[in-house]
Amino acid sequence: MTTDSDPTQDTQKTGYACIQRYVKTLDSSPGVYRMLDADSRVLYVGKARNLKARVSNYARPGHSGRIERMIAATASMMFLTTRTETEALLLEQNLIKQLKPKYNVLLRDDKSFPNILVAKEHTYPQIKKHRGAKKEKGTYFGPFASAGAVNRTLNQLQKAFLLRNCSDSMFDSRTRPCLLFQIKRCSGPCVNLISEEEYSESVKDAERFLSGRSTKVQEELAEQMMAASEAMEFERAAGLRDRIRALTQVQTSQGINPRGVAEADVIGLYMDSGQACVQVFFIRANQNWGNKDFYPRVGADVSAAEVMEAFLGQFYDNKEPPRQLILSDAVENADLMQEALSEKAGRKVEILVPQRGEKQELIAGALRNARESLARRMSESATQAKLLRGVAEAFDLDSPPNRIEVYDNSHIQGTNAVGGMIVAGPDGFMKNAYRKFNIRGDDLTPGDDFGMMKEVLTRRFTRLQKEDPDRDKGMWPDLLLIDGGAGQVSAVREIMVEHGVEDIPMVGVAKGVDRDHGKEEFHRTGQRPFALKRNDPVLYFIQRLRDEAHRFAIGTHRAKRAKAVGATPLDEIPGVGAARKRALLAHFGSAKAVSRANLADLKAVEGISAGLAQKVYDFFHDKG
């Protein structure tokens, strides 16, 4: 791969003249090009089978309004040649996700999806939810559209197969069965209430069910139920009946289960008024494992083919594609996309645009969902825009804010203190922009809310000035909302003055009389407090923002507190990770017992080497 750009050109020329200069220096190699403005900000990233031919198109008039604006702003270009067209496609999507250019179709919500994992590092496998890299030994089933879909399925699978979901350390420490056994959600392998062979058969049944062979599993359970009933084992028969009912419940909640589609993502795209919704249904093992909607950033004159291609490239950048992609619209370079995805998956990936049959019915369902989802979003966006205009009017802002940041702290008498920041804008809550701050100030007095807020805001503005000094990446807030009254507002103002960001409007939201909802007072620097009418929609909007910030801060604090409760001195010993910590606790019973153990006993623990045993012993005995 080689880089090709020409910095010696006259940078004063922009638009067609600028692009025409570059055409003369290019050959017919495949590659990726970037268009940059006068401030070297990336406007657009594109790929080409033939760089010279592709860039030549931009050097001639006759484009859509969006492309004309992009060309007019282009002051320079950069090029990366690749060995193959597939490399160019993959590189293009990586650069789009990294640089987020203004004129590209951009997928804004790209988190990973959860799976169900049957973990097999233990004699009695555990069934659980898994998100992220598939590093743990076991069998993975998914993806599921949401954590809720996984939790519902796991809940029913526990009833049907009685597999454990407790951690290995909890399993190894049990002396009697837990509540899940009592409510018939687990078979009690931790205290040998089921044999290893029987448990293994249950695991195989669960895997067969998740692999789509559910009919066979249910037939076998039905046969066992009839046999138990005939043998007058009515309690066992009732248990098997409940398990069959649980499996039926899973299938019912999954909705349409296509017979002729074993493994596919069904992707429907609907566009209206310069906005788009992409609806993805996950079909695995002939079962519908849920759907998820996405709203890529598009322009009014972008084609469906361009949106679909951009979505596929960015969506599967960090996900394994299924064997089939069933699309509502063809992509511009279907052969190239198919080759790239097949290379990524290590097997053939087929791209289909069906016109009839069951696959077309699946697409019709995805399109219907996409159309309805986009209509709801556009309605919500209109309401949100009206509320933001109301906020601008209430707080005397020059224009409706595009980014509101709301801050709150949470602690118990100063312990496990955290700060939370939530963000809202024209599309509602921007959860991928939320941030948590572990309060680190050693000199803070426990419960010093002013000091905590000062630390949070100092860290926030320091980072902003480092990451977006020119304020052109959309990371800076247009309005700050602080939970508190005049004192908090004054403290925050001092921090803003220190960092030279006095131009950002800031409002303190105080509970007001009797700390009652609807009696909030709003505080601004140098102005008298004021209140909004109790039935004002803007007041309800501000309350929702404040409550969301409070919820986020409380949740973060609870997670930190729970982690602290589970901490032990073993966490501080270099070389003692989660597995070795479990081994030590299982062998000795507690961290205190580990601290009192002699060197010989430590060496006797399975998985603990002589060198690590010495480290553990020295940690507890060599403190001066």
pLDDT tens, residue by residue, 143-185: 888 888 788 888 878 887 889 988 888 888 888 888 888 888 8
CATH 3.30.420.10 fits 263-375, yes or no: yes
Give me the pLDDT at residue 178, please: 87
* 116: nearest Cα among 141, 152, 92: 141
pLDDT over 70 (residue 218): no
pLDDT over 70 (residue 6): no
* 373: nearest Cα among 252, 300, 271, 257: 271
- Equal fold, 2-99 vs 569-621: no
pLDDT mean over 434-459: 77
Mean pLDDT check: name the lowest of 10-24, 211-225, 453-467, 607-621: 211-225
Give me the pLDDT at residue 12, please: 56
Q: Say if residue 353 is exposed, middle or buried (CB neighbours under 10 Å; 0-12, 13-18, 19+).
A: middle
d(CA 351, CA 326): 6
Phi then psi for residue 590, to 5 deg, are -160, 165
Tokens read off for 146:
């949401």
Letter for the amino acid at 211?
Answer: S
Give me the pLDDT at residue 50, please: 92
Give me the pLDDT at residue 624, please: 41
* 401: nearest Cα among 389, 419, 417, 386: 389
d(CA 312, CA 328): 12
Mean pLDDT check: name the lowest of 103-112, 337-346, 463-472, 530-539: 103-112
Give me the pLDDT at residue 8, please: 43
Tokens read off for 363:
């697409």
Q: Residues for the chain: how many in total?
A: 624
pLDDT mean over 256-270: 85
* 269: nearest Cα among 239, 288, 293: 293
Q: Are strands 404-412 and 428-429 parallel, antiparallel or unpaired?
A: unpaired
Residues 6+ apart with CB under 8 A from 324: 261, 263, 264, 265, 349, 350, 351, 352
pLDDT over 70 (residue 9): no
d(CA 92, CA 260): 34
Instruction: Please tell me the class of the 569-621 domain.
Output: mainly alpha
Kind and range of the H or E element at 482? strand 479-483
**Mean pLDDT in the chain?**
84
Q: Is 565 within 8 Å of 528 (Cβ atoms)?
A: no
Instruction: Give residue for tokens 């969902």.
Output: 369
Q: Work out the pLDDT band at 230, boundaries 50, 70, 90.
A: confident
Cβ neighbour number for residue 276 with a 10 Å cutoff:
23
pLDDT over 70 (residue 204): yes
Write out pLDDT tens, residues 122-138: 889 999 999 888 888 99
pLDDT mean over 546-564: 80
pLDDT over 60 (residue 256): no
d(CA 537, CA 260): 50
End-to-end CA distance of the chain: 58
Chain centre to alpha carbon of residue 82: 31
Instruction: Please tell me the class of the 404-563 domain.
Output: alpha beta
Give me the pLDDT at residue 416, please: 67
pLDDT mean over 72-89: 91
Give me the pLDDT at residue 415, please: 60
Write out pLDDT tens, residues 327-362: 999 998 888 899 999 998 899 999 999 999 999 999
Write out pLDDT tens, residues 523-547: 998 888 888 988 889 999 999 999 9
Give me the pLDDT at residue 329, please: 95
Residues 6+ apart with CB under 8 A from 460: 405, 421, 435, 437
Q: Work out the pLDDT band at 39, boundaries 50, 70, 90.
A: confident
Give me the pLDDT at residue 160, please: 78
> What percentage of the chain has pLDDT greater than the value 90?
32
Domain boundaries, the chain: 2-99, 115-253, 263-375, 404-563, 569-621
Kind and range of the H or E element at 148? helix 147-161
Q: Say if residue 186 is exposed, middle or buried (CB neighbours under 10 Å; 0-12, 13-18, 19+).
A: buried
Give me the pLDDT at residue 468, please: 86
Phi then psi for residue 274, to 5 deg, are 75, 10
Cβ neighbour number for residue 217 with a 10 Å cutoff:
22
pLDDT mean over 485-505: 86
Give me the pLDDT at residue 7, please: 44
DSSP string, 499-553: TT-TTS-EEEEE--GGG-TT--EEE-TTS--B---TT-HHHHHHHHHHHHHHHHH
pLDDT over 60 (residue 622): yes
* 117: nearest Cα among 99, 131, 98: 131
CA dihedral (237, 240, 246, 247) positive or negative: negative
pLDDT over 60 (residue 64): yes
Instruction: Give residue for tokens 């066979």.
Output: 216
pLDDT over 60 (residue 565): no
d(CA 484, CA 162): 50
pLDDT over 80 (residue 557): no
* 290: nearest Cα among 162, 144, 151: 144
Letter for the amino acid at 99?
Answer: L
d(CA 334, CA 305): 10
pLDDT over 70 (residue 577): yes
* 90: nearest Cα among 305, 351, 317: 317
Give me the pLDDT at residue 34, please: 95
Give me the pLDDT at residue 354, please: 94
Write out pLDDT tens, residues 600-620: 888 888 888 888 888 888 888
Give me the pLDDT at residue 594, please: 86
The architecture in CATH of the region 2-99 reads 3-Layer(aba) Sandwich (3.40)
Query: How far is CA 523 from each of CA 259, 410, 436, 567, rounded to the nearest angstrom?
Result: 62, 21, 24, 41
Give me the pLDDT at residue 32, please: 94
pLDDT over 70 (residue 140): yes
Tokens read off for 523:
């505080």
Phi then psi for residue 132, to 5 deg, are 110, -160
Kind and range of the H or E element at 158? helix 147-161
